[in-house]
Every structure is written in C-alpha cells, then in structure tokens.
C-alpha cells in the first residue's frame, strides 16, 4: 500500500501538471496572504475602539483558508482524474490486479498518495500564517482547526475524485464529473438556506467545513468527513473488485 502511495506521489512530481498546479496554488495563497496582511493594517487602523478590532490570525486566516477551500474545488479533480482512469486507458489494469496486493491496498495507496501531495499545500498555508507570530500574538488553535478542516475537505475531494476516476477510461470525463459533484455538494447549503431543518443541509461539504473555519472542531463534522471518505473509498474498491471478477 505504501509503495502504491509512493509511486503515485512520485508520478505527480514527475508530471508537469503536478508542478504547475503546485506552483499556481502556492503563488495564489502567498498573494492572498500578503494582501490579507496589508488589508489588516488598513482596516484596523481605522478601528479606534478595541471592540471593533479582530485578531490578525482570524482576519488573514479567513481570507487564505476561504480561498483555499474554493481553489481546491478545481485543483483536486485535475489531480484525481488520472488515478485509475489512466490505468484503464493505458490498459495496465490487468497488471495492477495481478500485483501481490489486494484491491483495498491499491485504492487506499492511490488515495494516500494524492492526500500527501495535497497535504503539502495545507502545511504551506499553516507555516505561512505561523510567520505572523514574528510580530504579533497569533491564535495557533485557529490555524490548527482550519488546517485540519481543510485537510479533511481536500481528502473528501480526493476520495470522490478517485471514485469517479474508477468509473471511466477517460480522465477528462472523470475530472468533469468530479467537479460537478463536488460543486453541488459545496453549495447545497445555499439551495436549502431557507429551510434550516432540511436533511439535505447535512450533506453540504461547506457547511461541515464552516465550524473548522471558525476555529472550532465539532465531532459531528469530524464524523461526517470520515464517513464521506470511507464511503467513496469503499465504492471505489467495490467497483474495481467487480471489474476484476469480470476479467
């Protein structure tokens, strides 16, 4: 399983797309970080009363993490679309099935490879915000909660993208389907905002990310992301297992 994860991670760094996405995202996050710091001094300088001021961690962090949750919606389908569909297209699936590994190990290995790659971006954001501690007292708890929430969010994106990648031999189709599904799951809370009792609100990814974005960790949200990831990994395993039985 770890060998599969290592192979997928190496393939992402060996691909120009992996480096391009990594470079674009780090540049975007860095730009928003600098803009957030500049805006903080501009806005807070006009807030005379202490009650009108908010911490620099929250002010800058909500900008960067908010951007990250939105951009990852586009980046993860591009990274996940080739995980299994490329194996189908290049007709290397029989070789993968013949390896001394179970289907579960193959799927989890591919998932972990992508999650480790995405974790680099999450750590980058956390390290960048931690530099604020050089000149101000910052809330490390807020950074940790947001980083954990973002990691769970992108891991959910990766699990769903992996599942759609297992359905087709065309990476582009897998990427498009993943993006559409994730986009709908991200904005479900807006469709049902007028009915707070609607059960559909519970399936909104963004709704469960909001508690982390506020610096809180809710066990219900942790359970939701855990079950979401487990569900789509299980569906992927069953899909590949059915393909292996059909030969």
Query: Per-residue pLDDT tens for 34-49?
Result: 988 888 877 766 554 4
Q: Token pair 């992508």 is at which residue?
A: 114
Secondary structure of residue 40 in the 3-state scheme:
helix
Across 176-199, average pLDDT: 77
Q: How far apart are CA 187 and CA 216, in angstroms?
A: 21
- The answer to whether 72 and 154 have CB atoms below 8 angstroms apart is yes
Across 102-131, average pLDDT: 92
What is the phi-psi region of residue 91: left when phi exceeds 0, alpha when psi lies from -120 to 50, beta otherwise?
A: left
Q: Is the pLDDT of residue 193 over 60?
A: no
Residue 145 belongs to what domain range?
Answer: 2-246
Model confidence band, residue 50 (pLDDT cutoffs 50, 70, 90):
very low
Q: How far apart are CA 66 and CA 179, in angstroms?
A: 18
Provide, for the chain, the percentages of residues in helix, strand and coil under a 3-state DSSP scheme, each rounded to the nearest 5: 80, 0, 20
Q: Strands, DSSP E only, in the chain?
A: none
- The answer to whether 105 and 1 have CB atoms below 8 angstroms apart is yes
Q: How far apart are CA 94 and CA 244, in angstroms?
A: 8
At 196 the pLDDT is 62
**pTM for this predicted structure:** 0.89
* pLDDT tens by residue, 71-90: 999 999 999 988 888 878 88
Flag the least confident range among 13-22, 194-203, 204-213.
Answer: 194-203
DSSP letters for 130-146 = HGGGGTS---HHHHHHH
- The answer to whether 181 and 160 have CB atoms below 8 angstroms apart is yes
With CA atoms as reference, report the closest residue to 64 among 133, 142, 180: 142
At 44 the pLDDT is 67
Q: How far apart are CA 181 and CA 175, in angstroms?
A: 10
| Total number of domains in the chain | 1
């Amino acid at each position: 399983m770890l060998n599969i994860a290592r192979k997928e991670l190496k393939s992402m760094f060996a691909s120009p797309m992996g480096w391009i996405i990594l470079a674009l995202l780090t540049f975007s996050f860095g730009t928003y970080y600098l803009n957030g710091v500049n805006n903080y001094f501009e806005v807070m300088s006009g807030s005379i009363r202490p009650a009108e001021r908010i911490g620099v961690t929250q002010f800058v962090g909500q900008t960067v993490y908010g951007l990250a949750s939105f951009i990852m919606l586009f980046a993860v389908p591009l990274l996940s679309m080739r995980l299994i569909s490329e194996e189908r297209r290049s007709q290397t699936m029989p070789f993968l099935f013949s390896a001394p590994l179970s289907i579960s190990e193959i799927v989890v290995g591919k998932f972990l490879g992508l999650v480790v790659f995405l974790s680099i971006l999450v750590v980058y954001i956390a390290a960048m915000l931690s530099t604020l501690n050089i000149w101000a007292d910052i809330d490390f708890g807020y950074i940790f909660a947001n980083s954990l929430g973002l990691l769970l969010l992108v891991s959910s994106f990766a699990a769903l993208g992996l599942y759609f990648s297992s359905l087709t031999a065309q990476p582009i189709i897998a990427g498009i389907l993943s993006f559409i599904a994730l986009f709908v799951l991200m904005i479900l809370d807006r469709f049902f905002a007028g009915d707070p009792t609607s059960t559909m609100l519970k399936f909104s990814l963004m709704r469960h990310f909001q508690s982390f974005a506020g610096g809180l960790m809710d066990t219900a949200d942790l359970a939701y992301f855990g079950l979401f990831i487990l569900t789509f990994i299980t569906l992927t395993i069953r899909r590949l297992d059915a393909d292996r039985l059909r030969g």
